[in-house]
Amino acid sequence: MRTLDDLDVKGRRVLVRADLNVPLDGETITDDGRIRASVPTIKALTGKGAKVVVCAHLGRPKGKVDPEFSLKPVAKRLGELLGQDVAFAADVVSDSARDTVASLQDSQVALLENLRYEQGEESKDDAVREAFAQRLAGLAELYVGDGFGAVHRRHASVYDVPKLLPHAAGGLVVAEVEVLKRLTEGTERPYVVVLGGAKVSDKLGVIANLLTKVDRLLIGGGMAYTFLKAQGHEVGRSLLQEDQLDQVRGFLAEAGRRGVELVLPVDVLAAVTFAADAEHDVVDATAIPADREGLDIGPRTRELFATKLADAETVFWNGPMGVFEFDAFSGGTRAVAEALISRTGSGGAFTVVGGGDSAAAVRRLELPEDGFSHISTGGGASLEYLEGKTLPGLAALEA
């Protein structure tokens, strides 16, 4: 892939596809991690005298203007992080966008309104998507792809626009790809992967592929209960995907055949209901009461997982161990994160937090972000790369 060093950007309009899909409470940004991650590339471009036009999506407005998903609060925060005003266009490719871009001086920055207000951004109809891409590309002379969290999408701003303009990968995308290559090529061992989150179905492909590569696979979070059920254990009212039981039994058998150590919880925090203040007890993972639901891994499992991480040279972690948003059920996620931090610091292991809820948990639990080798900005994109899939946005940048 070409990088920023391969583009002559001085005095030219550069369209930067960023990932600014941050959580909002009204107009308040509750986690600005993705905005902060976009700053280095934008600063690199303004430092070279480019007129920077940033485009991004927020939420799922489904091709319609919806004030709930406006990027206006993001423009304000981006300006604070850049230390300069960011002009905000009230539309994506219409009058406001054209006027805002036309008024940019060298080293100034503008942010377009939410790409997903336009039906052409996500359209499965190639002609509709390409027509929108033509209008978007018409705002700029060069293109920089820096929204790693969207590169697994065949969307106009990610896939079609790079075909229309001289293009390069931004620093964030370059860094993410380097990390993922390190997780898939010549990986230092022991290689341990920790998977959590709600659903097994979200990670079928990555589990299947990782079973051919890893030494140890630790399973926590909501998806662990489907594994426990597949082994014949009672899981009460815990999250369960009945339709995935046969698939999971296949994973368990494949791990055995390949000599991959697949580690499941040995105890859980079982609650009477799904609530922050729910009454709960520590119970064996193999005997969860019928009227309880598991909301976090228990203390013995936290120690077990820490032990299984203690000798790792490479670790990839994707998905929380429990409902980390509730303080009472955040201990398992914290324990895994702290085990990774300890391994990074004391043993020099290569530790990667795979974006999404895992990255959000690190910030919510106020853990040091520099305690890990890398925190990804793209959970879904990272997982699809590790599945071995071709990511449309990366393919477009490599062309």
Residue 114 among known ligand-binding residues = no
- One of 147, 222, 322, 380 is an active-site residue; which one? 380
Residue 77 among known ligand-binding residues = no
- One of 2, 199, 300, 363 is an active-site residue; which one? 199
Residue 203 among known ligand-binding residues = yes
- Half-sphere exposure of residue 213, counting CA atoms within 13 Å on the CB side? 22
Residue 145 among known ligand-binding residues = no
Residue 19 among known ligand-binding residues = yes
Residues 6 or more apart in contact with residue 394 via CB below 8 angstroms: 1, 151, 173, 177
- One of 34, 129, 229, 237 is an active-site residue; which one? 34
For 263-295, give the DSSP string. E--SEEEEESSSSTT--EEEEETTB--TT-EEE
Residue 374 among known ligand-binding residues = no
Residue 81 CB burial class (10 angstroms; 0-12, 13-18, ≥19): middle
Residue 393 among known ligand-binding residues = no
- Nearest to 156, CA basis, from 380, 385, 389, 392: 392
Distance CA 248, CA 115 (A): 38
Residue 189 among known ligand-binding residues = no
Annotation marks residue 199 as catalytic: yes
- One of 170, 197, 356, 393 is an active-site residue; which one? 356
Residue 294 among known ligand-binding residues = yes
Annotation marks residue 229 as catalytic: no
Residue 57 among known ligand-binding residues = yes
Residue 356 among known ligand-binding residues = yes
Annotation marks residue 138 as catalytic: no
Reported as type and span, the H/E element at residue 258 is helix 245-258
Is residue 216 a contact partner of residue 260, using CB atoms and an 8 Å limit?
yes
Residue 354 among known ligand-binding residues = no
Strand 261-263 and strand 24-25: the pairing is unpaired
Distance CA 342, CA 40 (A): 28
Annotation marks residue 380 as catalytic: yes
Residue 358 among known ligand-binding residues = yes
Distance CA 218, CA 196 (A): 8
Residues recognised as catalytic: 34, 199, 356, 380
Q: Which residues are annotated as a binding site for ATP?
A: 203, 294, 325, 355-358
Q: Which residues are annotated as a binding site for (2R)-3-phosphoglycerate?
A: 34, 116, 153
Q: Which residues are annotated as a binding site for substrate?
A: 19-21, 34, 57-60, 116, 153
Q: Which residues are annotated as a binding site?
A: 19-21, 34, 57-60, 116, 153, 203, 294, 325, 355-358
